[in-house]
């Protein structure tokens, strides 16, 4: 019998990669996807070196046919998708008077439309099996907009609504749908280069650790269904909110 699969769309050096590694440690085959799948080679090697199983895929999550093919391929060649995590995200900052339409649409397609496509496709299989977990990575912008961030906030508001709607439809069918609001900076190479002052001002767990985020994702999957979490908030203890 094939091992259960944890699909992570938007895997990389931070949250997505940590989620894949966490589930792989529990016997899941980590199926990881991003636009350029060859960039996942190092992550696959790390998981396999630790005794886990991992497969990398190239997939543009904004293209319906590619997401459909990805889920079909995994279900056929690897195993049943028990957990699906949508972690792909991109931002764009412009004044509303100067916001290019193509940039706005790109943010929505990656942050929201891709999540819909993944959610729809994995739901089809999970409904048949009457079990599964679907996790969506959200952000502070799911709650409130910010000047210059109309596209990101709009897309994350929509992602939250998607997760709520899916939960109301699918949870009575034994499929756990959760939206995780990441409320604060995550410790990644990009954030370290762009916001070095944050790490100086908030030492000692003052920035979200990707591995700790992944632990929460795994805990959500393990929750007993009499007390499922639909939305959770994660922030470091020094975050001002």
Dihedral in degrees, nearest 10, Cα atoms 33, 38, 42, 45 = 80
194 or 226, which is more confident: 226
Domain made up of 5-234: CATH architecture: 3-Layer(aba) Sandwich (3.40)
- The DSSP output letter for 105 is H
Nearest to 218 by CA among 20, 48, 80: 20
Sorted by sequence, the CB contacts under 8 Å of residue 72 that are 6+ apart come out as none
Q: How far apart are CA 219 and CA 205, in angstroms?
A: 20
pLDDT in tens, 17-51: 999 999 999 999 999 999 999 999 999 999 999 99
Q: How far is CA 116 from CA 52, 127, 192, in A?
A: 29, 16, 31
Note the pLDDT of residue 79. Answer: 97
| Average pLDDT of the chain to the nearest whole number | 95
Here the tokens at position 134 are: 């679907």
pLDDT in tens, 110-149: 999 999 999 999 999 999 999 999 999 999 999 999 998 9
Note the pLDDT of residue 70. Answer: 98
Note the pLDDT of residue 21. Answer: 98
Neighbours of 96 (CB within 10 A): 11
- The DSSP output letter for 2 is P
Q: How far apart are CA 135 and CA 230, in angstroms?
A: 9
H-assigned helices in the chain = 15-24, 41-49, 64-77, 101-108, 114-129, 150-170, 189-194, 196-201, 210-222
Residue ranges of the domains in the chain?
5-234
Give the pTM.
Answer: 0.95
The torsion angles phi and psi of 136, rounded to 5 degrees, stand at: -120, 130
Whether the pLDDT of residue 1 is over 80: the answer is no
């Amino acid at each position: 019998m094939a091992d259960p699969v944890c699909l992570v769309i938007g895997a990389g050096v931070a949250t997505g990669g940590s989620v894949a590694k966490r589930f792989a440690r529990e016997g899941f085959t980590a199926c990881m996807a991003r636009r350029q799948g060859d960039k996942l080679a190092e992550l696959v090697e790390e998981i396999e070196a630790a005794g886990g199983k991992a497969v990398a895929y190239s997939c543009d999550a904004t293209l319906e046919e590619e997401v459909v093919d990805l889920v079909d391929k995994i279900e056929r060649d690897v195993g049943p998708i028990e957990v699906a995590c949508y972690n792909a995200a991109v931002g764009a900052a412009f004044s509303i008077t100067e916001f290019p339409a193509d940039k706005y649409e790109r943010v929505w397609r990656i942050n929201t439309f891709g999540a819909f496509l993944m959610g729809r496709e994995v739901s089809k299989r999970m409904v048949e099996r009457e079990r599964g977990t679907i996790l969506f990575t959200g952000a502070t912008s799911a709650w409130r907009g910010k000047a210059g961030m109309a596209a990101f906030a709009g897309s994350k508001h929509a992602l939250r609504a998607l997760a709520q709607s899916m939960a109301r439809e699918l949870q009575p069918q034994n499929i756990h749908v959760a939206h995780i609001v990441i409320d604060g900076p995550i410790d990644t190479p990009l954030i370290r280069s762009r916001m070095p002052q944050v790490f100086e001002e908030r030492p000692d767990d003052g920035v979200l650790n990707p591995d700790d985020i992944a632990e929460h994702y795994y805990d959500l999957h393990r929750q007993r269904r009499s007390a499922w979490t639909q939305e959770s908030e994660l922030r470091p203890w020094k975050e001002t909110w």
